[in-house]
Amino acid sequence: MNPFSSGTRLRDMIRAIRACKTAAEERAVVRRECAEIRSAISENEQEIRHRNMAKLMFIHMLGYPTHFGQMECLKLIAAAGFPEKRIGYLGLMLLLDERQEVLMLVTNSLKQDLNHSNQFIVGLALCALGNICSAEMARDLSPEVERLMRSREANTKKKAALCSIRIVRKVPDLAENFMGPASSLLKEKHHGILISAVQLCTELCKASKDALEYMRKNCIEGLVRILKDVSNSSYAPEYDIAGISDPFLHIRVLKLMRVLGQGDADCSEYMNDILAQVATRTESKKNAANAILYECVQTIMGIEATSGLRVLAINILGRFLSNRDNNIRYVALNMLMRAIIVDTQAVQRHRTTILECVKDADASIRNRALELVFLLVNDTNVKPLTKELVDYLYVADPDFKEDLTAKISSIVEKFSQEKLWYLDQMFKVLSLAGNHVKDDVWHALVVVISNASELQGFSVRSLYKALQAFVDQGSLVRVAVWCIGEYGEMLVNNVGMLQAEEPITVTESDAVDAVEVALNRYSADVTTRAMSLVALLKLSSRFPSTSERIKQIVSQNKQNIVLELQQRSIEFSSIIQRHQSIRPSLLERMPALDEASYLVKRASITQEAIAADKPALAVTHGGLKLPNGVAKPATSLLADLLDLSTDDAPAITTASTNTAPSDFLQDLLGIGGINSSTTGIYFNIFILVHMGFPCYFSNLVT
């Protein structure tokens, strides 16, 4: 019986393995088969050696050790017949790799088979060499492979070119030996030879600069001719895929053109026409055509192409964005992010389509489109783009809101030309996605409000109205509570009204109600409750008629289990009840924070955090990191933060000097020798520390 006309024994083993119901049964079958194969190997049974090798390959694919059959592969390769060699080379490629020492024994057999008169045996040797070739084997056998690249047989040429790729990767020094044969293969008509030759030329360009220059001088014309022939060829069933003639050859040629044209103006100019032809004539209705178009766009962007050709490429990407396939849209967005560096204006024309991708249902497309929109923003389009992104916050998925708010905040902060627009946009972001806003964003907003004296009334009124509608947004509540505490009288008296602003009626009791609602609603948020207590304390000075009510609200936290809140409640109740004489000066407005210094410090902290690849150590404005106290401040000077030496610092009201206030402040702050002229500053410093700003009393006192 001819063993190659019937696989009875192999089929029986496969059937027995598949019939196993447990892993133990399968292992038993494999052990039994391996034992039989070992016996046959020891008895040197040549007539079933090929069958045993086929079974070993199947066992190897199941994950069992088959190293004992390696020498059998070499014996089959050394056999005279093609069937034995076929099984032997297949086993060689599966059971061995280039790290096996036994592989050195097969070099001589490979050399003999590469010089064999039978083209099929030569093909087996080339396939094996292309899969397991080591550096030593590459040096020994490269002359035979180079000679076979000039063979008359198309199949042999193709396999020799593929084998040469492996040789060049293993030994780049041999690249110069294959430059001439590779360029000559580009003149062939057989598509299999062409695609192998193009891939070999690409590897040669990567391996050697001399090969790159040689290919630029000798291959560019051949590549253009190949691309023209393939693009203009008639229907050929052998190479046709969805109506496109050999898209694989298209793509390989375009990739090689990109390598050759990169940084070379002459080569790029020579291939401009054919690239424009491919870009305009290829229809984007089939996936194969889209693959060619995408590769063509990459080539245009990678070479020294003309501006018109680049605009054509970007327009192709714009059409991709309208495709219903998510994969096509994703790769188009990726490519546009690289294209924006080359031609920003051309990408700007597709801004509307890109914005629609931000609203896509696919999360990966949304994120990539958002990054692209961020790159598209400039001084001229910042307002319409920001409006689109803010409007999308109404319907955005909760998982996407954090990234979206971060990008909007960065855009507004970077490109805002007037503080009114900045404040208006940030108030909308806080209202729609306040729970997804990072701490440093609303910290920066507080700094801006403290410096914009002409907009403080507008800010407190806008935040009060937003607080009534969006009390569930945590960051909004914190900023609103802080503003009400600082500028409560502006809210009640409609101070600093803008022309387009409508007056609102807010009583002193309404302002206290808003803070009380925040205090009660966020019972688990220590930061918000602490800020609410500070705001109530300041309102007791702004609105004397509400002092008694505020005292009762504050006193409710005297027995709070959180030490921070308990301490504040006791101290603040004492200030309201026993120290009314110094309360106006003690609770005056916080000095304006130096905005420039804050931004510099914030940027430096961010850079240090990125460099260290761990969270920054600096404490943020409201950052009460420990449940029973204030987090340790980072090394930062309060004098720099407050910039008290400048003329912009608000004047400090001098209170009457008596021993009681000084004694009280000594107890409260632990600082001796304080006169009444500085009590407001020291208490505001105290509030700053409790809010989490990095401050050092010793620097200021000294």
* Residue range 316-330: mean pLDDT, rounded: 91
Contact assessment for residue 481 and residue 494, using Cβ atoms and an 8 Å cutoff: no
* Model confidence pTM above 0.85: no
pLDDT of 544 reads 85
Whether 603 has a pLDDT exceeding 80, the answer reads no
* Residue range 420-444: mean pLDDT, rounded: 90
Confidence of residue 612 (pLDDT cuts 50, 70, 90): low
Whether 325 has a pLDDT exceeding 70, the answer reads yes
Whether 595 has a pLDDT exceeding 50, the answer reads yes
Whether 49 has a pLDDT exceeding 80, the answer reads yes
Tell me the CA distances in angstroms from 198 to 205, 227, 399, 520, one per residue in order.
11, 12, 46, 72
Weakest mean pLDDT among 6-15, 88-97, 135-144: 6-15
Could you tell me the two tokens for 324? 């219903």
Q: List, for residues 476-488, the tens digit of each pLDDT value.
A: 999 999 999 989 8
pLDDT of 1 reads 37
Whether 672 has a pLDDT exceeding 50, the answer reads no
Exposed/middle/buried for 361, CB within 10 Å: 0-12, 13-18, 19+?
A: exposed
Could you tell me the two tokens for 24? 């133990």
Where along the chain do its domains lie?
1-96, 458-586, 595-701
pLDDT of 260 reads 93
pLDDT of 663 reads 42
* Residue range 242-269: mean pLDDT, rounded: 90
Residues 632-655 as b/e (b if ≥16 CB within 10 A, e otherwise) read ebeebebbebbbbeeeeebebeeb
Confidence of residue 648 (pLDDT cuts 50, 70, 90): very low
pLDDT of 600 reads 75
Whether 686 has a pLDDT exceeding 60, the answer reads no
- Radius of gyration for the chain, computed over Cα atoms and rounded to the nearest angstrom: 39
* Residue range 538-557: mean pLDDT, rounded: 87
Q: List, for residues 153-178, the tens digit of each pLDDT value.
A: 999 999 999 999 999 999 999 999 99
Whether 522 has a pLDDT exceeding 50, the answer reads yes
Contact assessment for residue 114 and residue 126, using Cβ atoms and an 8 Å cutoff: yes
How many CA atoms lie less than 13 Å away from 408 in the CB half-sphere? Answer: 35
Contact assessment for residue 381 and residue 351, using Cβ atoms and an 8 Å cutoff: yes
Whether 620 has a pLDDT exceeding 50, the answer reads no
Q: List, for residues 57-76, the tens digit of each pLDDT value.
A: 899 888 888 888 788 888 88
Confidence of residue 524 (pLDDT cuts 50, 70, 90): confident
| Arithmetic mean of pLDDT over the chain | 81
Q: List, for residues 258-298, the tens digit of each pLDDT value.
A: 999 998 888 999 999 999 999 998 887 888 899 999 999 99
pLDDT of 562 reads 84
Rounded-to-integer distance, Cα 254 and Cα 223, Å: 9
